């Protein structure tokens, strides 16, 4: 879904916007790369699996419907299903059937998975602190939170609008 007509002249970035954009994208890439490397090195987990375990740990009964888990982790249902299968193999997550919906399933964080998460969290939170919060002032942390919330909310709204406008395409993308 394009917001600018194909024939319209692009709204080119000015010099300040270009510098901000490149600094932002470089910072995101460097930060996520460092966090991913450290998490993988310290615990053997990639960030996607870590995020699934964290999300499950924060839900009542450490259980959540698979479709809801996909939304909470900002991933497609098929990608989530593959990740949960790998976490099941490790014994960290169990998939449980939904009694009220034969096609539905729940993901449950096992005690073993919780122990793995607790161990991984120690190094992960230190890496996040060292690479993000320790280099920012308290005022910058507040600004980062505000800016990130605005971006997140705008992107979620745009994604929802796109899915509502093209439900067939969204269903195709989410299908396994």
Q: Which helix (H) or strand (E) holds 18?
A: helix 15-43
pTM across the whole model: 0.81
Residue 19, in any domain of the structure = no
d(CA 52, CA 63): 11
User: What percent of the chain has pLDDT above 70?
Assistant: 87
Q: What pLDDT digit, counting tens, does each position of 155-169 carry? A: 988 877 766 666 554
pLDDT of residue 15: 97
Is the domain of 165 the same as that of 145?
A: yes
What average pLDDT does the chain have? 89
**Domain residue limits at 75:** 29-132
Place of tokens 């995101």: 28
- Number of domains composing the chain: 2
Is the domain of 96 the same as that of 123?
A: yes
53-to-8, 50, 63, 95, 125 alpha-carbon distances in Å: 45, 5, 10, 13, 14
Residue 6, in any domain of the structure = no
Q: Is the pLDDT of residue 32 over 70?
A: yes
CATH number reported for the structural domain that contains residue 34 in this entry: 1.10.10.10
């Amino acid at each position: 879904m394009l917001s600018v007509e194909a024939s319209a002249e692009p709204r080119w970035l000015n010099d300040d916007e270009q510098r901000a954009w490149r600094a932002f994208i470089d910072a995101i890439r460097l930060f996520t790369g460092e966090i991913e490397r450290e998490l993988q090195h310290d615990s053997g987990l990639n960030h996607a699996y870590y995020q699934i375990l964290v999300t499950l740990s924060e839900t009542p009964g450490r259980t959540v419907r698979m479709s809801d888990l996909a939304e909470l982790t900002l991933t497609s249902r098929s990608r989530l299903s593959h990740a949960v299968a790998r976490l099941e193999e490790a014994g960290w997550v169990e998939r449980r059937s939904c009694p009220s919906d034969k096609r539905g399933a729940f993901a449950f964080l096992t005690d073993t998975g919780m122990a793995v998460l607790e161990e991984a969290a120690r190094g992960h939170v230190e890496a996040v602190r060292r690479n993000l919060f320790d280099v920012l002032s308290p005022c910058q942390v507040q600004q980062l939170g505000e800016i990130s919330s605005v971006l997140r909310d705008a992107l979620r709204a745009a994604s929802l609008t796109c899915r509502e406008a093209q439900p067939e395409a969204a269903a195709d993308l989410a299908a396994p």
